[in-house]
Chains A and B, each alone.
Chain A
């Protein structure tokens, strides 16, 4: 199979998550065996006649029949994606990239820290750890959004919060009086988050500045650099390390990432020249 040739998928469901984010559920037209991926991987999604972009997979890795992507309508391709309707056709190449370290994290507390749309690439991790609950210690999700109206997967988070085996703490940057949750950046939740720093695997996804300050707080709490993982984003084109668009120092985000341990990329992280 040629990794550069997209296979066609049909839109089964389309729904708006917030005023500018949406989720599409896709089903393969050509492949009846469904789609397998690991949490943290991404697909190149082709909107025919418009262009192709990388988007993380945000569905349940245990459900092979449906492929789920959540994104924000922000550029040329995603704005066209936002116009898709049921039975619309898209091209898919993937899955690509290195996943979150869910196997290596067995036995540890799992700390997921997401900012904004960064919750989408972490959602498959939530599905995985909850379906293999006995293999992990505490599971904590710290999630920062812009306003209460911008909280992604809100109903799902409310449902998960009612479980007794996961801690979900949400904070927003701005709110008015009727909001009774937290207000402040997501980094302010870290000092009192209930995890054991010695045996915790942290997975962070969000804007790079948010990830930088999150790492500072995690290091203060005593997490080892090799137990902190980030999902990096750069301009990806081919998805398989041929074109070099997403080169990040000696790494290619598409092939060697997008998930890296902080220890691997500490020397590159936050460097303006890269």
Chain B
């Protein structure tokens, strides 16, 4: 577990968390590797994982019968994937597919949720960090929606 701890504390998402919080998170964590083309999860499946990307690249996709899979966003080293584990009904809204060899720390969603309920200081820290990610992604998505490079 020591090596997983070393890996985890280097990730920007947990940077600055006190050691007792790191230990709580580590209790829900495992190291997972996804080959290119493998899905981390698919739309409508039960969302019970939170992924902290160590390396590689993952595409978030929506499937359209007319077009096929449309990539909404790609995420890579230093980023996180998934907050549906925190929000009822705990179902994934997108597909997530590794497009390169991708190494992640996978946190068990139920385990982490329970620890956040029991220890509100951990819950608040996680929520603050997730809110920061929400803010960045919503801002990016808003700019993306503007179709800035299209014809005026």
Interface check B14, CB cutoff 8 A = no
Can you give 7 contacting A-B residue pairs, CB < 8 Å? A116-B149, A176-B70, A179-B71, A180-B57, A182-B57, A191-B78, A209-B143
* Min C-beta distance of A147 to chain B, whole Å: 9
Q: Chain B residues near A183 (CB, 8 Å)?
A: 59, 71-74
Chain B, residues 130-141, CB within 8 Å of chain A (1/0): the string is: 000000100110
* B150 interfacial by beta-carbon distance below 8 Å: yes
In the complex, given contacts A74-B151, A191-B78, what are 11 additional A-B residue pairs having Cβ atoms less than 8 angstroms apart? Answer: A72-B151, A171-B74, A174-B71, A176-B69, A177-B69, A184-B74, A192-B77, A192-B78, A206-B148, A209-B146, A213-B139
The reply to whether the CB of B10 lies closer than 8 angstroms to some CB of chain A is: no
A contact face: mostly helix, strand, loop, or mixed: mixed
Q: A188: CB under 8 A from chain B?
A: yes
How many of chain A's residues have a CB under 8 angstroms from any CB in B?
32
Distance in Å from the Cβ of B73 to the closest Cβ of chain A? 5
Contact, CB under 8 Å: A173 / B152:
no
Interface positions of B (Cβ within 8 A of A): 57, 59, 61, 67-74, 76-78, 99-100, 136, 139-140, 143-144, 146-152
Q: Are B61 and A177 in contact, with the CB atoms below 8 A? A: yes
| Contact across chains for B100 and A207 when beta carbons are under 8 A apart | no
Cβ A188 vs Cβ B149 within 8 A:
no
Question: How long is the Cα–Cα vector from A107 to B76 in the complex, in angstroms?
Answer: 30
Asked whether any CB of chain B lies closer than 8 Å to the CB of A265, the reply is: no
Report yes or no: B149 in contact with A207, Cβ–Cβ below 8 A: yes
Q: Is A87 interfacial (CB 8 A cutoff)?
A: no
The CA-CA distance from A28 to B77 in the complex, in Å, is 50
Distance in angstroms from A204 CB to nearest chain B CB is 13
The reply to whether B140 and A173 form a contact with Cβ atoms under 8 Å apart is no
Is B143 touching A180 in the complex (CB atoms < 8 A)?
no
Given A117-B149, A144-B149, A187-B143 contact (CB < 8 Å): yes
Residue of A177, A179, A180, A210 touching B148 (CB-CB under 8 A): A210
CB–CB B151/A20 < 8 A: yes
Chain B residues with CB under 8 Å of A206's CB are 148-149
Q: A176-B67, A213-B139 are in contact. Are A184 and B73 (CB under 8 A)?
A: yes
